[in-house]
Chain A
């Protein structure tokens, strides 16, 4: 018993240590964004000055990021869900290859993808200076998350038989797709959509190269702020980013809760994808 208690204590200790290590910088950053003068410390007093300053100077980047992220979710839904459905139904080896190929944009460094995009499409009309150019990059990067997330759910249900059941009751393809296929991949679609939303919102690698002074996104603006302005301003910016992203992450967790069984699959996929993206 004593042994187990010691073991538990050690585990708890390690856990707390890791959490502190990870959370402390974020906490400091938040405090920095709310402090009058970070180098003086909290004694200089708390203020919303920096937050308001960031809002004044950068709110367009925030709106742009949200807009691009929403557009990105929309596009990945339109492309990704049918793609996952077709990949799932297709027994050919080609389909497995395509599935692997889809992950390439995650495995290849974002900078390389961005350079390729600029080299190839940079000269197309006004595309280079349009927010659509960034959207294209984001869709490339986030699409595999949507496809994999839906595929994982599809792998857990016998969709083929469900569809046959629907067909035996007279439902045609369109009816089956909307009444049976989509509702039964809801979990995967939701998880994928939230993942795409957060990834797009935080994407920096590719966006750094793809953006123009008129198409700055939030993370790019953040880098700007840290590089050229006071630390407090950068930190206030980070604070705003947290305010946007944390609710999304909480929502993601909440969705993950009710049907644990199906979600384990999705989470496995996510872990694989994240580790792949960490490499790049």
Chain B
């Protein structure tokens, strides 16, 4: 009897500890930031968000994230296709390398791009000879975003291609469809859910990226200042309300994307 009672106490203790940890660590901070941003009333929140520099940084972030996502969707689909369909020496090495951007610290990624595109490198001096600069301008931010979000589309498309039934493709060929027609009518629709969900995850990560971008962006307010760096600047200059307002905007956007991806995946699983 005492034994049973003891074990019940134990399991009750475990349960409440885990639930408390979950609530304090995850739920409280996120609720806190929403409360903080709206604590001055909705008008103050709207003022903080529509403040010229804040709004420009959000628009810039969305624009550059869209560009990098489109590039990654194209490159990622190609890479996934090659990695799944072709057998060639070095394939497994390339496949392992895909995860590299997830494993590397973002500050290290920023430093790499800084060195590669800097004025002393051949890419930087080449661009200078052409009359443009990459580093501390928009292209450098896009490169940083592409690097950081590189694995998402590949990792989302690969399983779809592996699942694809070879007989469907063969049937299309047998019925006289050309290679390109088979690709666009049979294979691409099959990859589409993977491309879309991978691209959405990549987009939300690109919106949130800080470490890689802060080192290469130059952070000129209104021109190369992205939202996450803007938030950091507001914290540093002791304006938590402004930081919280832009955070809530970014956060809500990311949450919507994340939940849409989960919803789509769950429906597919059914």
Q: Do A and B associate with each other? A: no
